[in-house]
A = this chain, B = another copy of it.
């Protein structure tokens, strides 16, 4: 039975993990190290082979490679086969471009025309920066788009160019709302990014405590989650990943709080883009995030206190937080985005660790 048919039988169970075509990278199990340029080039070839124009393929490949470089393989290399599959299913429209739906002051609504989600989101981020440069602020809703992969990519881009970005996407249902046993809310990733000369602050958080990819890798290592991550089919809270993968009852981040925030993010994504809420994405019964709604709120700090004032505030917060006495678990407090930079620098030096099987599959898609 093809995936598309399996999906139609499980309208509320179209979580990302169903599509995971190969096991993601598990430390020490079966990984290989590749250089950034080789990774990017191979992904680009895979996308061109799937029919993407060269320029588009290059941009998409760079975003996937950068996410992998930062250690987010789940939304980098590991998504390439699924993205290619979505193209073949006809769910993603190569060559399509966002169309203006509405314009009022600093507000914009665009229809993403089902173009590749990464291209749409990158375009929307750049457009929001242009509008913010003029108006001080931009609120851009993007409907009818596709999976943007790592949401943080757009935060890094805006913050790297001196802009504040708050952005989010809705998704298909993949998490039960608090008080329910059935997935009816998305994990709706939420991004906040602030520029800072010493390194931007980039928060990229889904409304689930753990991603399905984390459950999978933890199970494969024979380990337990550091903290409970969901419920068994019988409604028992557990830190064992396997039963949660089976029940699809992942825990909202912060329990009832992440559930409530997921609901508000969904309503606002749909309202501000005049697009589909999660229930509408579920009703499409296509792949993960196909037809989703996104919001890009961008602010130009130069229209407020300016870059120096921003840097002074951001530095003071970073220094204060990181000056706190570390806990007994051997952790140290960090600002959001710090870990990504550390992994980025290490993997640029030592090579990027990827799953052997996944790397072989993407190379095959690239005709290598």
The interface of chain A, by Cβ under 8 A from chain B, is: 102, 104-107, 109, 135-137, 139, 141, 164, 176-185, 192, 194, 201, 203, 205, 209, 227, 231, 234-235, 237, 253-255, 257-261, 263-268, 270-272, 274, 277-280, 297, 299, 301, 303-305, 309-310, 313-314, 316-317, 320-321, 323-329, 331-336
Assess the A194–B331 pair: CB atoms within 8 A: no
CB contacts (< 8 Å) of A279 on chain B: these are 316-317, 320
* Residues of chain B lying within 8 A (CB to CB) of residue A104: 136, 303-304
| A264 and B139 form a contact (CB under 8 A) | no
In angstroms, how far is the closest chain B Cβ from the Cβ of A135? 5
Q: Are B180 and A264 in contact (CB under 8 A)?
A: no
Residues B263 and A316 in contact, CB atoms below 8 Å apart = no
The 5 closest A-B pairs by CB, nearest first: A253-B254, A179-B331, A235-B328, A180-B324, A254-B254
Shortest Cβ distance from residue A176 to the other chain B in the assembled complex, whole angstroms: 6
Taken together as a complex, chains A and B put the C-alpha atoms of A348 and B107 apart, in Å, by 40
Taking a contact as CB atoms under 8 Å apart, the answer to whether B139 and A137 are in contact is: yes
Contacts of A270 in B (CB 8 A): 313, 317
Verify A271–B323 contact, CB threshold 8 A: no
A179 to B141 Cα, complex, angstroms: 36
Would you give 16 A-B contacts (Cβ < 8 Å), ordered by A?
A136-B139, A137-B137, A177-B333, A178-B333, A179-B327, A183-B324, A184-B321, A192-B268, A194-B264, A205-B260, A209-B255, A259-B333, A260-B336, A263-B336, A267-B313, A271-B304
Asked whether A164 and B268 contact (CB < 8 A) given A320-B184, A325-B182, A334-B179, the answer is yes
- Chain B residues positioned under 8 Å from A271 (CB to CB): 164, 194, 301, 304-305, 309-310, 313-314
Contacts of A255 in B (CB 8 A): 209, 227, 253
Provide the bound-state CA to CA distance between A29 and B324, in Å.
Answer: 39
Contact of A254 among B164, B176, B237, B257 (CB under 8 A): B257
Majority DSSP secondary structure for residues of A touching B: mixed
A347 to chain B, nearest CB (A): 21
How close is A331's CB to chain B, nearest CB, in angstroms?
A: 3
Q: Report A136 CB to chain B, min CB distance, Å.
A: 5
**Cross-chain contact A181 with B324 (CB below 8 angstroms):** yes
Do A180 and B136 touch across chains, with their CB atoms under 8 A apart?
A: no
Q: In the complex, are the beta carbons of B320 and A264 less than 8 A apart?
A: no
Looking at A235, A304, A314, the one whose CB has the most chain B CB atoms below 10 A away is A304
Q: A323-B184, A324-B180 are in contact. Are A280 and B316 (CB under 8 A)?
A: yes
With CB as the reference atom, state the residue of chain B lying closest to A231: B327
Q: Chain B contacts of A258 at CB under 8 A?
A: 253-254, 257
* Chain B residues in 8 Å Cβ range of A309: 271, 274
- Give the distance to chain B from A169, nearest Cβ to Cβ, in Å: 15
Closest B residue to A194 by beta carbon equals B267
| Chain B, Cβ-Cβ closest to A269 | B313
Provide the residues of chain B in CB contact with A185, threshold 8 Å: 321
CB pair A179–B137 under 8 Å, yes or no, is no
